[in-house]
Amino acid sequence: MPLAALAGTTRPDPERILPAMSAPKQNRPKARLPRGFRDRGAAEIMAEQAILATIRRVYESYGFEPLETPAFEYTDALGKFLPDLDRPNEGVFSLKDDDDQWLSLRYDLTAPLARHVAANFQHLAKPFRRYQVGSVWRNEKPGPGRFREFTQFDADTVGSANPAADGELLMMLCDTLEALGLKRGDYIVKINNRKLLDGVLEVAGIPLEDRERRGVVLRAIDKLDRLGVEGVAALLGPGRKDESGDFTRGAGLSPDQAHRVLAFVAPDAKDEQEHLDQIATLIAASKVGAEGLAELEAIVRLLQAAGYGPDQVMFDTGVVRGLDYYTGPVWEGQLTGPVTNDAGEEIVFGSIASGGRYDDLVARFTGQRVPAAGISIGVSRLLAALKDRDAALVPLVVVTAFDKNDAAPGFAMAQELRAAGIRAEAYVGTGKMGDQFKYADRRGAAIAVVEGPDERTKGEVTLKDLALGAELAKSVESRAEWVANREAQKSVKRADLVAAIKDMLGR
């Protein structure tokens, strides 16, 4: 080809082509959550805040005061008390800091409390009464409804060995559950004493000093509701393989020893009196068992004198609590009826609160025994159980923007509504009016406020009742019928905005 023919031809520049052809593929992270963790939306958070406010009010009415401790503690300060020791090095989330010290996210709120008391013992009024709410973390195998991060709300009395301290906590737990809307019969608080089981194990030939073996027994019994008698019997003996094929090592008790334990936690007695007679026989030769029985009797007498009956608190030897630091009375608050899960299935929800006496926890730091007892409400579990009750968002009003270039009138109305105690927001997007109504619907707003040129000329605003409109839309058969039905919106004088919205929300 002649050079003249090439003169007007533009050749591609190789340096411009090669980067485009050889550019590495961009690595983008996947938008995913770690297993066992979850995001939570506004409705759940607001419902939780309402529950927390109720619990806080009851706790403070009993004279308890707040305390906050950090999410991280030194690992050795937390100690190894988790019920799941099948994964002894994975029960907590841990890391090393710049000083080469191991830190762990707290797995409950009690171990940090013990550290705080030990560090400030001389300056605290005894008994020390505190409450605390916060997230805790467990590096355990997640499952349906079982997360690795959840919220607890605790109250503890530190420095009193009087059974009255235990009894008061049980009263407060009952009052709290009822303040949250549960009626007598909806819940039950079950109480036991670890010393009774210590006495049974002592008589069965398992000494108090054999803490590891006793810990396996306690964790096995704690799974009675989930695994049944056969499953617990296997864990008391050689061990158990679950549905996934994982094997859990058992306590290695002999058949006679296992029978004694099962007779305590899962009796074949016809009634409570016969059960008590069986227990008395089982612990007859144990001093620690007799102490446990006396403590329980003192707590029950106090509860009865204060008007708390067996329809609220009852004795149950199946309650042992899996945490190893409990030393005396232990308790669990349970829902008595079935709960509907997210799949619409009725399930037995189980424990929503727990606690007990832990007289040796502070002594880990000081060497001095400091008696203590506490309750812990599993807020995340309780919220799931109460999700169909009256916990709801405060109604929202959305003030639309007819002219996106002039947002001031909408902001003025929103501020006026907020000053009157009404939850309101001014629309700040760029959508048309139809898009704004869709936005308000998705936000779950109760009312949308419109001030267009016609309304402004008349000195009015239009109030669209979104909740009523949604209900009416379900029943109309045609668009014409919907347009003709004006009950879902009305015009009011601009000066009457607050009063009109309060009236609509009230209805």
CA dist., res. 38 & res. 150, Å (int): 10
User: Does the predicted TM-score (pTM) go above 0.75?
Assistant: yes
Residue 140, classed as helix, strand or coil, is coil
Percent of the chain clearing pLDDT 70 (strictly above): 84
Beta carbons of 253 and 217 less than 8 angstroms apart: yes
Angle (nearest 5°) at CA 493 between 492 and 494? 110
Distance separating alpha carbons of residues 53 and 42, to the nearest angstrom: 16
Residue 216, CA distances (Å) to 141, 266, 359, 466 in order: 18, 17, 21, 57
Sheet harboring 460-465: ordered strands across?
A: 423-426, 396-399, 447-450, 460-465, 489-493
pLDDT in tens, 228-247: 888 888 888 888 888 777 88
> How much is the mean pLDDT over the chain?
85
| DSSP-derived pairing of the beta strands 149-158 and 372-378 | antiparallel
**Longest alpha-carbon distance in the chain:** 117
Encode pLDDT of 48-96 as tens digits: 999 999 999 999 999 999 999 999 999 999 987 775 544 445 688 999 9
Give the residue carrying structure tokens 């019997």.
233
Domains and CATH numbers, the chain: 42-385 (3.30.930.10), 396-506 (3.40.50.800)
Is the distance from CB of 73 to CB of 104 less than 8 angstroms? yes
Q: How confident is the model at residue 315 (pLDDT cuts 50, 70, 90)?
A: confident
H or E, element range at 151: strand 149-158
Among residues 195, 392, 379, which one has the least CA distance to residue 297? 195
| Separation CA 463–CA 500 (nearest Å) | 9
Q: Which residues contact 358 (CB under 8 A, 6 or more apart)?
A: 110, 114, 325, 326, 327, 372, 373, 374
Cβ density class 88-127: b for 16+ within 10 Å, e for less: eeebbbeeeeeeeeebbbbbbbbbbbbbbbbeebeeeeeb
Residue pLDDT, tens place only, 190-216: 999 999 888 888 887 887 778 778 778
Torsion sign, CA atoms 494, 495, 498, 504: negative
